[in-house]
Chain A
Amino acid sequence: AQKVTQAQTEISVVEKEDVTLDCVYETRDTTYYLFWYKQPPSGELVFLIRRNSFDEQNEISGRYSWNFQKSTSSFNFTITASQVVDSAVYFCALSEARNNAGNMLTFGGGTRLMVKP
């Protein structure tokens, strides 16, 4: 069975600090996809990134960067120079390539990030 763990339930930082959100996953499949979504107070989940299990190259998009390490089953997300607008709940999710539920997403419990001015 697949499982995603986000050990940090809540993080509070001051604006301009860097912050890393941890994500650890479990899967028996060799082919899978990892995602990060942002859920602002409005409630709608916003897609941030998708990685497949064969691509361990780290990715940077503006102030966001992701570190995928298969050896530790982790897919951590770093926000550099955080801003108040980054305040939201962030979810890590896993999708196995072969399952009966159309690649449904298994979500972690989420990390609430609060960025204070």
Chain B
Amino acid sequence: GAGVSQSPSNKVTEKGKDVELRCDPISGHTALYWYRQRLGQGLEFLIYFQGNSAPDKSGLPSDRFSAERTGESVSTLTIQRTQQEDSAVYLCASSLARSKNIQYFGAGTRLSVL
């Protein structure tokens, strides 16, 4: 596609429910990143994929968070048993390769946990 696509754009859920956030990277981009942006703050790194592998998961805030990528394309970020503190915008980015290349961002999914 022309850019990084994320869905849904907005998600409202009840505390304790599971949510899945989807990211479609730019075609041909091998590296994919997830970031979280709390209201009025900068972005914090969550996880990165090179191909379908995630070499470093230490950025995930808790074991309720998981992510996968298939076909070196679509990635899904799953949050189980959501908490109010999970409310944030979740941004996905992709780049051609992990070394020094520019990361292009999607518009994000705004998650609100009631």
A residues adjacent to B (C-beta < 8 A) = 4, 6, 33, 35, 37, 42-47, 50, 52, 91, 93, 95, 97, 100-110
Contact = CB atoms under 8 A, between A and B. Distances in A.
A44 B45 contact: no
20 contacts: A6-B42, A33-B100, A42-B107, A43-B108, A44-B108, A45-B91, A46-B105, A47-B103, A93-B43, A102-B33, A103-B98, A103-B99, A104-B33, A104-B48, A105-B103, A107-B35, A107-B42, A107-B43, A107-B44, A109-B41
Contacts, number: 69
A106 B48 CA distance: 13
Nearest to A98: B99
B56 A97 contact: no
Nearest to A31: B100
Contact of B43 (A47, A91, A95, A102): A91
A42 B100 CA distance: 26
Nearest to A99: B56
B34 to A, nearest CB: 10
Q: Which interface class (under 10, 10 to 19, 20 to 34, 35 or more) fits B?
A: 20 to 34
Nearest to B43: A107
B7 to A, nearest CB: 14
Contacts of B56: 100-102
Contacts of A104: 33, 45, 48, 59
A91 B100 contact: no
Going nearest first, the 4 A-B pairs with the smallest beta carbon separation are A102-B98, A107-B42, A45-B105, A44-B107
